[in-house]
Structure formats: C-alpha cells, structure tokens
Structure 1
Amino acid sequence: MIKEWATVISWQNGNALVECDVKASCSSCASRAGCGSRVLNKLGPQTTHTIAVPCEQPLVAGQKVELGIAEASLLSSAMLVYMSPLVGLFAVGAIFQSLFAADIAALCGAVLGGIGGFLLARGLSPKLATRSEWQPVILSVGLPPEMIRVDIATTENRP
C-alpha cells in the first residue's frame, strides 16, 4: 500500500474532498547540483491535487488524513500509460517497415503507433479509473485542528 498524507478541504454526505501537495522528487539527494530531475522540477509549477474520497466519518476542514492506494493498481496504471505508446511505436513501426521496406515508412509507422498507443491509454484510463481497487482509501484520520494545542515553555517559567 502506497501512503500519502492529505488535508481535508470539505466533507459532505460521506465524501471528503482532500488536497495532496505535490512533493519534489529530489530534495535530500547528495548529488543535487548535477541532477537533471531537480532542474526539471524547478521548471514546472508546484501544484496540489484535489481528490474526492468516500469517508463515513465526519471530517472538518484542515484535518489531516492518510490516503492509501494499492501498489498493483498504481503499477498497472503506470504500465498502461507508459507501455501502450511504446508497444504501439515498435509494433506499428515494424509492420510499416516490413510492408514498405523503407526507413521513412518505419518512422511514420512508429509515430502513428505511438500516437495510437497514447490515444488507447487515454481512452481506457477513464473506464479503468472507476474500478474500486483503483480508488484511494482513507487509512487513518488525524485530530481536528481545533483539538491540537501546543504549549511552548519559556525559560522564564522554569524554576
């Protein structure tokens, strides 16, 4: 189970609207200066994701919840998104190469296969996203914000 903490925005009729912060992929690595992923993370905007999750327990805005999603569903969705364009690229490129025996035909077939694989993944993902095992679930619920109190002791109060 892959876990992530989220903040509740609202709760209505058994559905919680939660917000997850996007974490940068690298912040603690020792090779930050020469990392290409770090440079790419700086280019894109840091956004948050809003997700509706079923929850029977009443929640309040600002409350923290731990979300979980099964590894198998995450891996299968990643396989769909990444492998279908790749398989389309190689398969249609090879078919065009064997049919027309020209490199330009193989290139055109590869482009068409990659686009076709992308469109296939795009068409299948909404249908697969409705499966219950592909939905995030609330694993644990933190205390509401008004129940948390922090007392800071200063040196003046100590004997």
Structure 2
Amino acid sequence: MIKEWATVVSWQNGEALVSCDVKSSCSSCASRAGCGSRVLNKLGPQTEHTIAVPSSEPLAVGQKVELGIAESSLLGSAVLVYMTPLAGLFLMAALFQGLFSTDLAAVCGALLGGVGGFLIARGLSPRLSRRQTWQPVILSVGLAPDALRVDTSPAAEQK
C-alpha cells in the first residue's frame, strides 16, 4: 500500500474532497547543480491535486487524512499510460516497415501507433479508474485543526 497525507477541503454526504501537495524530487540529494529533475520541476507548475474519497465519518476542513492506494493499481495505471503508446509505436512501425519496406513508412507507422496507443490508454483509463481496487481509501484520520490547543501563557509554564 502506498500512503500519502492529504488535507480535507470539504466533506459532504459521505464524500471528502482532499488536496494532496505535489512533492518534487529535489532538495533531497547533494547534486542540485547538475540535476535534470530539478530543472524540469522548476519549469512545470507547482500545483495541488484534489480528489474525492469516500468517508463515512464527518471530517473538518483542514483536517489531515492518510490516503492509501494499492501498489498493483498504481503499477497497472503506469503500465497502461506508458506501455500502451510504446507498444503501439513499435508494432505499427514494424508493420509499416514490413508492408512498405521504407524508413518513411516505418516513421509514419510509429507516429500512428504511438498516437493510437495513447488514444487506447485514454479510452481505457476512465473504465479502469471506476474499479474499487483502483480507488484511494482513507487509512487514518488526524485530529481536527481546532481539537488541539497549546497554551504558552506564563501561568502554564509554572505548573
């Protein structure tokens, strides 16, 4: 199970809308100057992901929840997104090369296969995302934001 903490944005009728922060892979190693990931992370927008998760217990806005998703569903979605266009690219390039015996035909077949694989992945993903095993679940719930109060007055320090 892959786990991540999220913040509750709203809760209505047994469904919580939670926001997960995008974490960059940078700032965790010493090679910041020559890191390609760091450059790419600076180019893209630093946004949040908001998702709906079923929750039977009421949640307060700002409350932290731990979400979990099965590794198999995450790996399955990664295979669908990355391997389907790649497989289409290679299959159609080989088919066009075999049929027409030119490199231009192979390139055209590769382009068609890559786009076709992308469209297949795009068409399958909504159906697969409805599966119960592919849905994130709430594993644990943190305290509500107003449930804990720290008293820093001088009277509290004398006790």
If the TM-score is normalised by the length of the shorter chain, which range does it land in? Answer: over 0.9
Question: How far did residue 27 of structure 1 move?
Answer: 1.7
What is the aligned partner in structure 1 of residue 131 from structure 2? 131
Distance in 2, matches of 1:88 and 1:152, equals 63
Distance in 2, matches of 1:45 and 1:89, equals 29
Amino acid of the residue matched to residue 123 of structure 1? Answer: G
Amino acid of the residue matched to residue 73 of structure 1? Answer: S
- Structure 1: where are the runs of 5+ without partners? none
Residues 9-88 of structure 1 mapped to structure 2, 5 A cutoff: 9-88=9-88
Distance in 1, matches of 2:135 and 2:148, equals 30
* TM-score, normalised via structure 1 length: 0.95
Distance in 1, matches of 2:104 and 2:23, equals 42
* TM-score, normalised via structure 2 length: 0.95
What is the aligned partner in structure 2 of residue 109 from structure 1? 109
What is the aligned partner in structure 2 of residue 122 from structure 1? 122
Partner-residue secondary structure (3-state), 1:145? coil
Distance in 1, matches of 2:26 and 2:43, equals 14
Among the aligned pairs, what percent are the same residue? Answer: 73
Report the count of equivalent residues: 157
Higher deviation after alignment, 18-27 or 36-45: 18-27
Question: How far did residue 151 of structure 1 move?
Answer: 3.7
Deviant stretches of 4+, over 2 Å: 150-154
Amino acid of the residue matched to residue 119 of structure 1? Answer: L
Aligned alpha-carbon RMSD (Å): 1.5
- Structure 2: where are the runs of 5+ without partners? none
